[in-house]
């Protein structure tokens, strides 16, 4: 009996301490919604290829309240549910069976999205780091390098560009949202569209 009491005396405070960390907090009362309108589904890596002078697409970000805030008997100040964006991360996932992808990168951004405002554009979004098209897996598609991806044997590379945006509500709750852009990359394949 003494042994059980000693285990309980050690276990109960441990459980209480572990349940108080920040991970155990409830989630934010808002969702950060990231969506995109895609201009290009194919990117031709040949210099001067037709249609490639346009952007990959537009990223729109909005904040959605997860609870009904329209109770006139209990007005709510939604200003603390506004989200201040602080960074975004771009990762890549091959969808053609290959494994090589450009390196993941993170960029800073500073933008406030209102909890009740219209969606806003992520104005400084970059899908690739400078010089990324001269590195694997894209370099293998160039004629001087064989024109084929060594992992798949294909003359193109298919991947999803995954954009994850991070921020926090003005009340301090961390939020994030993601969007995917599926794109085919090739060399001398009829331009970008």
What beta strand segments (E) does 39-173 contain? 42-44, 57-65, 83-94, 105-113, 120-121, 156-169
Please report the pLDDT score of residue 14 as a whole number: 45
Find out whether the peptide bond into 117 is cis, omega within 30 degrees of 0: no
Q: Residue 10 has what pLDDT? A: 52
Number of C-alpha atoms within 13 angstroms, CB side, residue 148?
6
pTM for the predicted model, two decimal places: 0.81
For the chain, 193 residues long, give each residue's pLDDT as a single digit of tens.
555 554 544 544 444 444 444 344 457 899 999 999 999 999 999 999 999 999 999 999 999 998 766 677 777 778 899 999 999 999 999 999 999 999 999 999 999 999 989 999 987 689 999 999 999 999 999 999 999 999 999 999 999 999 999 999 999 999 999 999 999 999 999 999 9
Full set of structural domains in the chain with CATH: 27-186 (2.60.40)
Residues whose CB is less than 8 angstroms from the CB of residue 61 and which lie 6 or more positions away in sequence, other chains included? 32, 33, 34, 35, 85, 111, 113, 119, 120, 121, 122, 165, 177
| Residue 72: other Cβ atoms inside 10 A | 5
What confidence tens digit (pLDDT) does each residue in 61-103 have?
A: 999 998 766 677 777 778 899 999 999 999 999 999 999 999 9
List CB contacts of 65: < 8 A, sequence separation 6 or more: 29, 30, 78, 81, 115, 116
DSSP class of residue 22 equals: G
Write down the pLDDT at residue 4: 55
What was the pLDDT predicted at 69? 62
Instruction: Output the pLDDT for position 91.
Output: 98
CB 187 within 8 Å of CB 146: no
pLDDT in the model for residue 68: 67
């Amino acid at each position: 009996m003494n042994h059980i009491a000693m285990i309980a005396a050690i276990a109960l405070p441990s459980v209480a301490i572990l349940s108080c960390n920040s991970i155990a907090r409830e989630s934010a009362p808002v969702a950060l919604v990231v969506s995109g309108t895609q201009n290009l589904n194919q990117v031709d890596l040949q210099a001067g290829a037709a249609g490639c002078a346009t952007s990959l697409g537009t990223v729109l970000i909005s904040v959605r309240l997860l609870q009904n805030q329209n109770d006139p008997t209990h007005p709510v100040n939604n200003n603390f549910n506004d989200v201040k964006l602080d960074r975004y991360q771009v990762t890549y996932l091959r969808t053609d069976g290959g494994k090589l992808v450009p390196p993941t990168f993170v960029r800073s951004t500073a933008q406030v999205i209102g909890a009740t405002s219209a969606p806003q554009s992520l104005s400084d979004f970059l899908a690739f780091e400078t010089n990324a098209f001269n590195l694997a897996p894209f370099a293998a598609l160039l004629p001087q390098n064989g024109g084929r991806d060594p992992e798949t044997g294909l003359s193109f590379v298919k991947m999803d560009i995954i954009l994850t945006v991070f921020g926090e509500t003005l009340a301090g709750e961390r939020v994030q949202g993601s969007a995917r852009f599926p794109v085919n990359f090739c060399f001398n394949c009829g331009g970008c569209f």
